[in-house]
Structures are given as C-alpha cells and as structure tokens.
Structure 1
Amino acid sequence: MRAGVYLAHPRPGSFNHAVFDAVVEELRGRGCEVLAHDLCAEGFSPVLAPDETGTVASATSPVDAQVALHRAEVATLDALVFVHPNWWGMPPAVLTGWVQRVLAPGVAYKLASADGEPAGLLTAGRALVLNTSDTPADREQDEFGDPLERIWSACVLPYVGVDDVRRVVFRTVTDSTATSRATWLREARRQAAALLE
C-alpha cells in the first residue's frame, strides 16, 4: 500500500508534529510505502496562480515543480492521511491551498455532467483525518455544526473519489496532560494501522 501523509502546522515541536511522526512511523513499520510531507517545512505555497483557477483545466496545465510533484504523487496513492489543527473551523491555510492546488480538475476530479456532478479520479479509496482542537466536542457540534467534518467528509474527499473517510479529533489540547497526549498518540497509531486493513 502507498499512503500520503500530510502535516499542516507551522510550529516545530507541536503536538500535530508528534501525531504526524507517530503515523508515519506506524505505517512504515507495517510495510507501507509512505510519502510524508510537512507542508510548512517544505514551504508549500497555498496561493493559487491565475492559470490554476479554471474548473476545466487539464492535468497538463503548467504549474510549479512542487505542485506538479504533489499532483503526480497523489494520483498514485491508496490512502491519504491529513494531520492538522482546527483553526476557525478550517484547516490551516497551507492545507486549504494544497487542496485547491493539488486536488485540481484533471488530476483529482472531472466535472462529468452539465449539472456539475463530479467524477472522482483518485485511486485512494480511504482517508484518515487527525485533528487537534481546543473546542469541546459539544460546543463544536451544537454551536458550529462541526465544520471540519463537513469539509472533509462531504465537500472534499468524496468529490475526488475517496469513499472511506475516517476522522478523529484530539481535544482539548491546550489543557491536556502528558498522559492524555500519550493516549492520543497511541490512538493515532491505531487509526493509522486500521487504515491498512
């Protein structure tokens, strides 16, 4: 199996980094080929170029080398893992930009009909989203409707052909104990391992 693991957190040493490292180690330890990307450390630009904004572009539209690499890789994956904090009910800008620039028309989907219904092009049948949050679960759901769940499970991943979307939220991080964090890292590893089954 070939998995892409994507981290979106700018601060080295963050708990998101620990989750990312645990997932990559777990997957590799189980024989999975892992393409691991710390998007902030790589300097991935989230800003769309004007010629990247069309909805009918092809996979051969000119893009910079970094975006081209990510597009080529994502087309070959069996699974996707995203690790990021919940910031204002959204992924960090670097990951939002990655979605917009990499999961592009002609690469990850095509508009198959006049009504705009997409046909997903990715072969990755499953995805795991691991979020951190400082919002209690009941408030997230009752006041905000869990926007990250909608983003990943309704708006993004099914659109590109990923049917099996799993998501785990570790909360609340700011006031968490070392014991809680160790438990969460074990759960991240367990979820990563389950992705291979």
Structure 2
Amino acid sequence: MIIDENEKKKEEKNERLLIDLCECYLTLEDEFSSEFLSICIPCLLSAASDKEDSKEAKKEVEIALLALSRIGACHFIHEQYLNEIKEIIQYHQVHRNLTYLAYQSAWRLLIYRILKDDSLEGMIVDATHFVREERKELEELAKSVDWKRKKVGDGEKEAKELLFIERWLNAIYDHLCFCTSWSEEFVELIGRIVGKIQESWYQNSI
C-alpha cells in the first residue's frame, strides 16, 4: 500500500493516507527495508516539519517523530534528512513548538546515527547543544516529580513525567556509548544527575 500510494501522480496521491501508512509501518515492524525507509523518512520528516501551533498539528508532529525514532542505529539516513532533523530541533529551541515526546524522539533519531557516522558528534554537541538541552529538560521535569514519595502515585501527569525522564536518561546513555567528545558541560550534567539520584536515595531512606 505504501509503494502504491507513493507511486501515484501528485494530484492523485493521498498524502494523509501515506503518512498514516508510514507511521504504522515504522511503529509495528521491527525490521525495516531500505526501500520502505526511502519512502517513509522524507514523508514523515515533511509531516514533522509542520510549524503550525495548533494542538492537532503538534500531535501529528509528535506521532511522526515518534515513528521515526524507531529507526535503529543500523539503518543509514541520508545527510539531507539529518540536516532536516537538526533544523526541527533548532527551531524548537527558539520557538518551543514541540511536545516533550516529540523533542525526545527527534534527539533519539539523531543520536542513533553516531554509530554509523561519528562525524555527527559536532552536530549533536555543538550545533544542537545536546548537553545544554538535556540538562534543561531534566531539571524542568525533575521539579514536577515528588522524589520523597515511596511509590509513584496514580497521577497520570507524574507518571508521564517519569517516563520522559527515563527517555532522557536513555538518550544520555546512548550519547555516552557512541560519543567520544566530553566537555565541562557534559561533566556537569552527569554530576547533577548523580546528585539528584543521591538526593532521592537519601530522602527515601529517612
């Protein structure tokens, strides 16, 4: 269906259907063929580049980026598309137009690429300021979580925030595994995370 829809002439093509099909494919499959990725990546990046500020548009962007973040490190993504991901991240840093999940998904997609191309470290560390953004997001999320509680409550909001924190920590783990560049900012970030873990442990032990 993806191939059939993609091969239609522009005036006959149903772009919304193609986006939905690509999102389903990346979300439900575990192994991706290069043929399908060559269709799905530009299609979903186009959807993810929507700068409209409505709630519906933000949700569509979130779903597109979440689907794209399923593409593992073993798959090649053309430099043109990596630049588009960088632009999505940089636009958000100025305008704050993405949801938490969308922003994390964009980072995950970009960081996974380092395994194939370590020259991307410059884009991640310098051009998009991964460490600075990681610290900012974690500090903001940490303020909304009651670390003194013995158990996570039933509150949906707090449960989501804990999930976001976990995803950011996973991104840090990937960065540590794949990157060789260390800076004072990165050392400070790790120090703050360790400090927060120690604080949480202390508060829950008394």
How high is the TM-score relative to the length of structure 2?
0.33
Structure showing greater radius of gyration is 2
Bigger share in helix: 2
How high is the TM-score relative to the length of structure 1?
0.34
Bigger share in strand: 1
The structure whose RCO (Cα within 8 Å, separation 6+) is larger is: 1
